[in-house]
Structure 1
Amino acid sequence: MQQDLNNVSVVQDEELDIRSIIFKYLSYWRWFIVSIVFFTIVGFVYLKRQNNIYENNVIVLLKDENTATEEMLLLQDLGMSAGKNNIENEIALFKSPDLITKAVTSLELYTTYRKVTRWSFNDNELYGNAPLYIRWEDMEPKKIPAPVTFTFTPQGKGFEVSGQYENMPFHGRIDTLPVYLKLPMGRFYVSRNNEIDPAYKQEPYTFEATISNPSALARRLSAELKVTPSAKQSSVLTLSIQSEIKKKGRDFLQQLVNFYNEDATNDKNMVAHNTAVFIEERIKEISVELGTVEKQVEDFRQQKQITDIQAEAQLYLGQTGQNEQKRVEIETQLNLTRFVEDFIARPANANKLIPNLGVTDAGLVSVINEYNQLLLMKERLESSSSDSNPALIQMKQQVSGMRQSIQASLANVRRASEIALRDLN
Structure 2
Amino acid sequence: MIESPNLSENKEKTLRELLEQYTRYWYLFALGVTIAIVAAFIYLRYSTPLYLSKATVIVKDEKSGGGPAELAAFSDYGGFFSKFNNSNIENELAIFKSKRIVTEVIRELNFNITYESIGTIKTSDIYDYRPFTVQFLSFKDNDENRAVPKLFFELISETEYEITNENDAIKGTYSFGNPVELPFGVITVVPELENLEKFNSYKGKTISVSYRPLEAVAISYQNRINVANEIRNSNVVTLTMQSPVREKAEDFINELIFQYNKDAINDRNQVAQKTSNFIDSRLEIITEELDSVERNKEQFKSKNRLTNIEAEAQLILENSSEFNKRQLDIGTQLELANSMINYMENASEDDLLPANIGIESEEIANTVSSYNQLVLERNRLLKNSTMKNPVVVNLNNQIEQMRSGVRSSLQNISNSLKISMRDLNYQESVLNSKISKVPTQEKLYRGIERQQSIKEQLYLFLLQQREEASISLAVTAPKAKIVDNAYSGKTPVSPNKMLIYLGALIAGLLVPFLLIYLSYLLNSKVSNRLDVERVLGSTPILGEIPKLKRGDEELIQHNDRSILAEAFRILRTNLQYLTINKGDSIRKSNVIFVTSTIKGEGKTFVAFNLALTLALTGKKVVLVGGDIRNPQLHRYLPDQSKSQQGLTEFIIDESLSATSLATPSNYNKNLSIILSGVIPPNPAELLLQDRTKEFFDELNENFDFVIVDTAPSMLVTDTILINKFADKLLYVVRAGYTDRRLLEFPKDAIEDGRLSDVAIVLNNVNMNNFGYGNKYGYTYSEEQQPWYKRIFRS
Q: Is the pair's TM-score, using the shorter chain for normalization, greater than 0.5?
A: yes
Question: What's 1:170 paired with?
Answer: 169
What is the number of residues matched between the two proteins?
399
Deviations 1:263-292 (A, max 9, x none): 232233333322232123213332454465
How much has 1:351 moved relative to structure 2?
A: 0.5
Q: Quick one: structure 1 residues 278 and 210, their matched pair in 2 at CA, closer, same or farther if it must change by over 3 Å?
A: same
Question: Is 2:95–2:101's contact at 8 Å kept on the other side of the alignment?
Answer: yes
TM-score by length of 2: 0.45
Question: Is 1:61–1:235's contact at 8 Å kept on the other side of the alignment?
Answer: yes
Deviations 1:388-422 (A, max 9, x none): 55554554454444434433543454455445545
Alignment of 1:10-409 (within 5 A): 10-11=10-11, 13-14=13-14, 17-18=17-18, 21-22=21-22, 25-26=25-26, 29=27, 32-65=29-62, 86-120=88-122, 123-139=123-139, 143-155=144-156, 158-163=160-165, 170-194=169-193, 202-204=201-203, 205-290=205-290, 293=293, 297=297, 305-308=304-307, 311=310, 320-346=320-346, 348-356=347-355, 357-387=357-387, 389=389, 391-409=391-409
How much has 1:9 moved relative to structure 2?
A: 4.8
Question: Is 1:149–1:211's contact at 8 Å kept on the other side of the alignment?
Answer: yes
Q: Quick one: structure 1 residues 199 and 185, their matched pair in 2 at CA, closer, same or farther if it must change by over 3 Å?
A: closer
How much has 1:193 moved relative to structure 2?
A: 2.5
Question: What's 1:76 paired with?
Answer: none
Deviations 1:128-159 (A, max 9, x none): 42222112112599832124322223456643
Q: Quick one: structure 1 residues 420 and 243, their matched pair in 2 at CA, closer, same or farther if it must change by over 3 Å?
A: farther
Deviations 1:280-327 (A, max 9, x none): 321333245446545755675577x24337758995865532332232
Q: Quick one: structure 1 residues 149 and 311, their matched pair in 2 at CA, closer, same or farther if it must change by over 3 Å?
A: farther
* Amino acid aligned to 1:40: I
Q: Following the alignment from structure 1 to structure 2, what is the Cα–Cα distance between the partners of residues 106 and 60?
A: 21
Deviations 1:352-385 (A, max 9, x none): 1101333344443343234324422322331233
How much has 1:125 moved relative to structure 2?
A: 1.6
Secondary structure of the corresponding residue to residue 247 of structure 1? helix
Question: Is 1:351–1:375's contact at 8 Å kept on the other side of the alignment?
Answer: yes
How much has 1:184 moved relative to structure 2?
A: 0.4
Deviations 1:54-73 (A, max 9, x none): 22222232233469xxxxxx
Q: Quick one: structure 1 residues 255 and 12, their matched pair in 2 at CA, closer, same or farther if it must change by over 3 Å?
A: closer
Q: Following the alignment from structure 2 to structure 1, what is the Cα–Cα distance between the partners of residues 16 and 90?
A: 69
Secondary structure of the corresponding residue to residue 227 of structure 1? strand
Secondary structure of the corresponding residue to residue 234 of structure 2? coil
Q: Following the alignment from structure 2 to structure 1, what is the Cα–Cα distance between the partners of residues 240 and 262?
A: 20
| RMSD across aligned positions (CA) | 3.7
TM-score by length of 1: 0.78
Question: Is 1:54–1:243's contact at 8 Å kept on the other side of the alignment?
Answer: yes
Deviations 1:193-222 (A, max 9, x none): 346798897353222211111222112222
**Higher RCO (CA-CA < 8 Å; seq separation 6+):** 1
Secondary structure of the corresponding residue to residue 148 of structure 1? coil
Question: Is 2:62–2:85's contact at 8 Å kept on the other side of the alignment?
Answer: no
More helix per residue: 1 or 2?
1
How much has 1:188 moved relative to structure 2?
A: 0.9
Question: What's 1:73 paired with?
Answer: none
Q: Quick one: structure 1 residues 250 and 415, their matched pair in 2 at CA, closer, same or farther if it must change by over 3 Å?
A: farther
Secondary structure of the corresponding residue to residue 353 of structure 1? coil
* Amino acid aligned to 2:37: T
- Give aligned-pair identity as a percent: 25
Q: Quick one: structure 1 residues 188 and 203, their matched pair in 2 at CA, closer, same or farther if it must change by over 3 Å?
A: closer
Q: Following the alignment from structure 2 to structure 1, what is the Cα–Cα distance between the partners of residues 18 and 313?
A: 119
Secondary structure of the corresponding residue to residue 36 of structure 2? helix
Deviations 1:76-98 (A, max 9, x none): xxxxxx97763233222222211
Q: Following the alignment from structure 1 to structure 2, what is the Cα–Cα distance between the partners of residues 313 and 49?
A: 103
Deviations 1:4-26 (A, max 9, x none): 45236524643663476247535
Question: Is 1:94–1:227's contact at 8 Å kept on the other side of the alignment?
Answer: yes
Q: Following the alignment from structure 1 to structure 2, what is the Cα–Cα distance between the partners of residues 328 and 52?
A: 75
Q: Quick one: structure 1 residues 408 and 232, their matched pair in 2 at CA, closer, same or farther if it must change by over 3 Å?
A: farther
Q: Following the alignment from structure 2 to structure 1, what is the Cα–Cα distance between the partners of residues 54 and 390?
A: 27
Question: Is 1:59–1:237's contact at 8 Å kept on the other side of the alignment?
Answer: yes
Q: Following the alignment from structure 2 to structure 1, what is the Cα–Cα distance between the partners of residues 45 and 275?
A: 61
Deviations 1:199-249 (A, max 9, x none): 897353222211111222112222332222244443332222222222222
Question: Is 1:94–1:256's contact at 8 Å kept on the other side of the alignment?
Answer: yes
Deviations 1:162-193 (A, max 9, x none): 225xxx76322344322322210011111113
